[in-house]
Structure 1
Amino acid sequence: MSILSSLFGKEVVIGLDIGSSMIKAVQVEPTRGGFRVVRAAEQKTPQGAVRDGVIISREPIAMAIRQMLQAAGISANAAVLSVSGPSVTVRQIRVPKMNAATLTKSIRYEAGKYISTNIEDAALSFEIMGPCDDDPTQMDVMLVGTSRDLVESRVAVAQLAGLEAIAVDIESFAILRAIVDTAPDDFADENLRAIVDIGAAHTEVIILSGPDFALTRSIPISGDTFADALKNQLRIEPSEAELRKQDVDMGALITGEGSPESIELSRIIQTTMDELLREIRRSINYFQSQLADEGVTANLSEILLVGGSAQIRNLAAYMSARLGIPTRLCDPFASSQLETSPEAEEWLQEQGPSLTAALGLALKEFTGPQLGSKN
């Protein structure tokens, strides 16, 4: 907590998700039975301000954040931020057994074996998972690494917007917090599931074993890729392509029903969509092959969709048909642990998939320890 907030008032924290297309914010507070969503908001990201996950035009983003918070009546002074994308590495590694202090000193050496980017320019974090079952002299560690520029650009923007950045989380972990931690009974079994976060710049595939994180993979096919397909085929401006994307109905390709326009638009992005589904399938097959090496056979029970571009009409039905795996659009605000005001309920339900990461970020300080050893 900052000195100013300690002296002059309570720290008010929001989850702040800065994407290449949209900026989202969620504020929650604990209740006796869970959490109450105090406020939520979103705002378009200034065009070209975010490139490859790094914020390159900081003041325009900061101004957009200030405008968004003011319009939504959010008077926050602190934020939990996130990073995501292909430059983020999340991996369980095995190292000789040691205490956290010793690992802190040697984590860069250990991480250098797994991170392809310049290790000196990387921001690192880890969590000791515990001793290995088959070798008591070794221990499992969850390693997280990413570009320092990715982290520092977000912290700097938060400060410009008048917010103290109290934590920078991994977007995949925030999504799990919003979905799994708010509905633990739904994940109490040992089934494999995939959460697919289709954003503007990339798609993140998160594999779960029961409630536990198992694997994450970033795929460079996303909402922007779909919009580019429409732009190139129809020879229209990027802004119009984004609007036309709202008329896509992937269900029309399954049933053959729908307006001629929706069928045409769906066919234009079908090749790109099918390539995304192939990459999702490869991610699932990779994890299943790892289990097979350990003598375990497991099928995926379902896919949960989140992210702004997951809201393409009837995409879940299309994925179910193509992949042969039950797929549904996820609404994290439907959890019985989350209270919402009646006037905001419909809007939150509509925007739930795109607000999932911001909700998970807002919940971070209330839901126990996370990866916290930063180097």
Structure 2
Amino acid sequence: MSRQNELVGLDIGTSSIKAVHLHRSGNVYKLAELGIAHIHPETIVDGIIMDAATVSTAIRQLFDKHDIAIKDVAFSVSGHSVIIKKIKVPTMKKAELREAIVWEAEQHIPYSIEDVNLDFQILREAGPNEQEMDVLLVAVKKDTLNDYLAVISASGLRAAVVDVDAFAIENAFTMSTKFQPGEVVALVNVGAAITNINILNGGISDFTRESPLGGNRHTESLQKGVGLSFEQAEALKRGEAIEGHGFAEAKPVIEMANSELAAEIRRSFDFYYSTSQSHTIHRVVLSGGCASLPGLASYLSSALELPVEIANPFQNIVADPKKFDAQYLASIAPQMTVAVGLALREPEDSAV
């Protein structure tokens, strides 16, 4: 059956806003609409909306331009205002845990409980003789969440689902992937300002971390090292020709930024190994706007000594070739991963 209440996945990112609307019939998803609106890099900083009017206007224009009539949206948050922790709690039923989660959260959240929205997910039920179970705890500061809700409302839309970037990416990935027994996959989403890492063990989130390092580092390095404007640096890092400057000139600067990113990812992996029973990551799936940077996937594969593949959240979604150009979809696929993951959500879903 088709979904009774369809949602639009709305990814409000640091450098752009993405929207994806999917039709579902049974287990088949069809791409109905999608769009991207670019915003100034200082409009949203570390997940905090600095210019609400610009964001709401961009969202409204995006929906108008692509004739998206659906008003209910699923959106996600990231940055310092989001806390994700895997904790152990005494074995209890889900209803009991919902009552006890506030007390449990107070032991792990560095903010006042009154200042955050909480949710949780039981990762693994306790065995017959186990006294504890694994729970994923999520907390988002209310003032940050309220800012997002305000711009969505000002855009004439309704927020039906609130999610976290890392879990939206996981949702897009697990929809189309079957895991091998014991397989550990690292989902690495490199956005403009933040890199999300979510390590799945057997399809279950085992480790999450965010780093304030993303594609902006490449842009800033090119601005300083080669003497380019922001727009020129953005174009050159993507391999586009810039008058008076060649990619060969930029390559050493880009490789230095790649090295910083690889080192940051490796630190996260090392921390995972030190805190987990697993000592192997079998493959990396790279998403985000920076996933398509020339040579980045192969560089990370070499630096991390792991297979690295680029995400394509559209691979199992039907797209009418008369409406959507296949080459264009392939080119934007990695940066649409969060939006697709959000579009797959149901109205009753919510992470926070």
Deviations 1:277-300 (Å, cap 9, x if unpaired)? Answer: 112112112222333xx4x5x422
Cα gap change, 1:268 to 1:138, in 2 (>3 Å):
same
Aligned match of 1:245: 237
Q: Which has the higher helix share?
A: 1
Aligned match of 2:250: 265
Asked if residue 209 in structure 1 is aligned to residue 194 in structure 2, the reply is: no
The answer to whether the 8 A contact 2:44-2:50 is kept is yes
Alignment of 1:95-244 (within 5 A): 95-133=89-127, 136-181=130-175, 183-185=176-178, 187-244=179-236
Aligned match of 1:52: 46
The answer to whether the 8 A contact 2:162-2:350 is kept is no
| Structure 1 residue 85: Cα displacement | 2.3
Opposite residue 324 of structure 1, the aligned amino acid is: E
Deviations 1:228-269 (Å, cap 9, x if unpaired)? Answer: 1111112332222222222289xxxxxxxxxx9223212113
Match of 2:283 among 297, 302, 309: 302
Q: Distance in 1 between matches of 2:75 and 2:7?
A: 11
Opposite residue 277 of structure 1, the aligned amino acid is: A
Aligned match of 1:5: none
Asked if residue 93 in structure 1 is aligned to residue 72 in structure 2, the reply is: no
Cα gap change, 1:104 to 1:211, in 2 (>3 Å):
closer
| Structure 1 residue 322: Cα displacement | 1.8
- TM-score normalised per structure 1: 0.85
- TM-score normalised per structure 2: 0.90
> Which piece of structure 1 moves more, 94-103 or 237-246?
94-103
Q: Distance in 1 between matches of 2:310 and 2:124?
A: 34
The answer to whether the 8 A contact 1:15-1:79 is kept is yes
Aligned match of 1:359: 340
Q: Distance in 1 between matches of 2:139 and 2:66?
A: 34
Aligned match of 1:290: 275
Residue aligned with 2:339, SS? helix
Residue aligned with 1:132, SS? coil
Q: Distance in 1 between matches of 2:300 and 2:124?
A: 37
Where does structure 2 lack aligned partners over 5 or more consecutive residues? none
Cα gap change, 1:134 to 1:98, in 2 (>3 Å):
closer
Q: Distance in 2 between matches of 1:135 and 1:90?
A: 27
Residue aligned with 1:342, SS? coil
Aligned pair count reads 345
Cα gap change, 1:245 to 1:173, in 2 (>3 Å):
same
Asked if residue 13 in structure 1 is aligned to residue 7 in structure 2, the reply is: yes
Match of 1:275 among 260, 278, 298: 260
Cα gap change, 1:219 to 1:327, in 2 (>3 Å):
same
Q: Distance in 2 between matches of 1:236 and 1:13?
A: 40
Where does structure 1 lack aligned partners over 5 or more consecutive residues? 1-9, 250-259
Q: Distance in 1 between matches of 2:8 and 2:206?
A: 27
Cα gap change, 1:134 to 1:232, in 2 (>3 Å):
farther
Residue aligned with 2:70, SS? coil
| Structure 1 residue 113: Cα displacement | 1.8
